[in-house]
Structures are given as C-alpha cells and as structure tokens.
A and B are shown apart, each in its own frame.
Chain A
Amino acid sequence: MNITEIMNIGLTHYLIVSALLFSLGLYGIITRKHAVMVLMGLELVLNSANINFIAFAKYGGMNIEGHVAAIFVIILAAAEAAVALAIVLNIYQNFKHVNVDEVNKLKG
C-alpha cells in the first residue's frame, strides 16, 4: 500500500476498521466470563457490521438501502440488549454471580 492509497480514504479503509472491530469483539465474546462483558463484545461486532453496511452504501452503490439495513440492525441491538440485561439480572438473583461458564442449572 503506497502513500496515495493511505492518504485517499476509500472503501477498503472502512472495511479494515470494521474487520479489526469485529475481531476485537469476537475476542471479548470468547474470553470473558462476565455476561455483561459478553454483551459488550456483541455490541462491538454489531457495530462493525453496521460500518460495513454504511461503507457499501456510500462506495458500493447500495445507497439508501444500506442505511435502512443499518437502522434495522440498531433496532435489533436495542431489543437484544434489553432482553439480555433482564436475563442477566435474573441470573444474578438466582446464582449471585453472572459468570456464564458457571451457570449450568436450568432450575436452581
């Protein structure tokens, strides 16, 4: 990659940022025990997908369809966060911790 490619921001730059964000989120999902930390990793992954949608909307000719798809991703993320936090609170009431690898009883 020479200097003009580095200076002229194009589609590839955004895709690389989203790839790095996706990998970091995946690492967080895999390694963390705390359920809320797993949720944070999930949000990072969803954000990286959204960056891809918007990047292709601008550079790849998806135009406004990419924006609408990103809006639906944000809607799903909000619903998922609300339900997941409710489940996490319930787990905490039953187990007194939220380590996802030690929650192994369905009916405590």
Chain B
Amino acid sequence: MLSKIDYININMNLITIAFYFFAALTIVFAAVVVFSKNIMHSAFSLLFTFFGVAGLYVLLSADFLAITQIMIYIGGILVLILFGVMLTTHITGVDVKSGTMGKIQLGLAGILTGVIAASLILVFKSTKWYLSESQVVNSTVNQIGKELLTNYLLAFEAASMLLLIAIVGAAFIARKNK
C-alpha cells in the first residue's frame, strides 16, 4: 500500500518528467527552426515547438489555452507559414535553402542573443517573485468566457474588428494586381 505522501511524490515526479520532456521538445525544435539551413525543415520543426508549448500550457493547468494553441497555431498559423514557404521558394530547385549572413554578423548576433539570454535567466533566477498559494483549477473555460464578456468586453470586440480588418486587408494585399 502506498501512503498519501508517496502518491504526492509520484505525482510530483510525473509532473517533473513531463515538464522536462515538453521543455526539451520546445527548446530543441526551436533550435532546429532557427539553425536549420533548409526552410522546410524549419517550418516542420515549428510544429513540434508549438506542440511542446501546448504541453507546457497543460502542465500550467491552462486547458483552454492548450487547445487554442493547437487549433490556432498548428491549424492556422503553421499552415499559413507553410503556404508562404511553398509559394515563395522554388521547391524543386536549389533555392529551398534560406540565406543567412556572413560569419562575423552571425557571431555578433550569437553573442548578442547569448548575452540577452544569460541576463534574462540571471534576472529570472535572482528575483524574489511574489508567489500566491496554488489553488485547484477545474476548468478555465467558464471563467475565461465570463471575463471576456464582462471585464474585457471592449478588448474582445476590438479584437473581432481587428480580425475582420486583417482578413479583408490580407485578401486585398495578396491578390494579383492587373
């Protein structure tokens, strides 16, 4: 028989394993996105990065956000990006490779982003964040719906107008001009 403490320990270990799995998935495939020379490989690696981020959302008990991430990012934005890649590169030719800059610029950019990453991590680790007691969350859908239609109603309507204008503008810009 396992005691309650043991159950909690096993639970914590599962969460730890899941966190490191999804974090590694996210970071490794993000690195593939950025460093790969072949732009198709980058686009397909982006899928696994988005999926890893959705897994992190689940671990953070944000169920609605995880589903939204999969539906909008993987189902919408990634498909758009794939269309963009396939319409703007010659897949059959050798032009699939996307150019980068020279060695010196690459080194400078690497140093710059390395410094930014190191300072961000240092700040995140050294700051004493305000931590509230964790509360059990059942489902966030109900609360998000209520918030969107009460406190954030104006922003919600503005977002709907923005999406309408964006879709009309995108269709207008992308059509062939005669």
Chain A interfacial positions (CB closer than 8 Å to B): 1, 7-9, 11-17, 19-28, 30-37, 39-41, 43-44, 47, 50-51, 54-55, 57-61, 64-65, 67-68, 70-72, 74-83, 85-90, 92-93, 97-99
Contact = CB atoms under 8 A, between A and B. Distances in A.
A8 B77 CA distance: 34
A17 B56 contact: yes
Interface string B29-59: 0110110000100110010011001001101
10 contacts: A31-B105, A34-B39, A40-B33, A60-B132, A61-B132, A70-B62, A74-B73, A83-B166, A85-B170, A87-B173
Interface of B: 12-13, 15-16, 19, 23, 26-27, 30-31, 33-34, 39, 42-43, 46, 49-50, 53, 56-57, 59-62, 64-65, 68-69, 72-73, 76-77, 80-81, 83-85, 87-89, 98-101, 105-106, 109-110, 112-114, 116-117, 120-121, 124-125, 129-132, 134, 140, 143-144, 147-148, 152, 155, 159, 162-163, 166-167, 169-171, 173-174, 176
B173 A51 contact: no
Contacts of A90: 173-174
Nearest to B46: A40
B110 A82 contact: no
Closest 5 CB pairs of A and B: A61-B132, A23-B117, A34-B98, A79-B166, A86-B174
Contacts of A17: 23, 26-27, 56
Given A7-B12, A80-B166, 4 more contacts: A19-B124, A21-B53, A34-B89, A72-B155
A66 to B, nearest CB: 8
Name, among A20, A23, A39, A79, the residue most crowded by chain B CB atoms within 10 Å (CB to CB). Answer: A23
Nearest to B140: A67
A7 B16 contact: yes
Majority-rule SS of B interface residues: helix
Contacts of A12: 124-125, 129
Given A78-B163, A83-B166, A64 B125 contact: no
Nearest to B162: A79
A41 B98 contact: no
A8 B20 CA distance: 11
Name, among A11, A25, A57, A81, the residue most crowded by chain B CB atoms within 10 Å (CB to CB). Answer: A81
A86 B171 contact: yes
B170 A67 contact: no
A61 B129 CA distance: 11
Contact of A60 (B53, B68, B98, B130): B130
A81 B166 CA distance: 10
B63 to A, nearest CB: 10
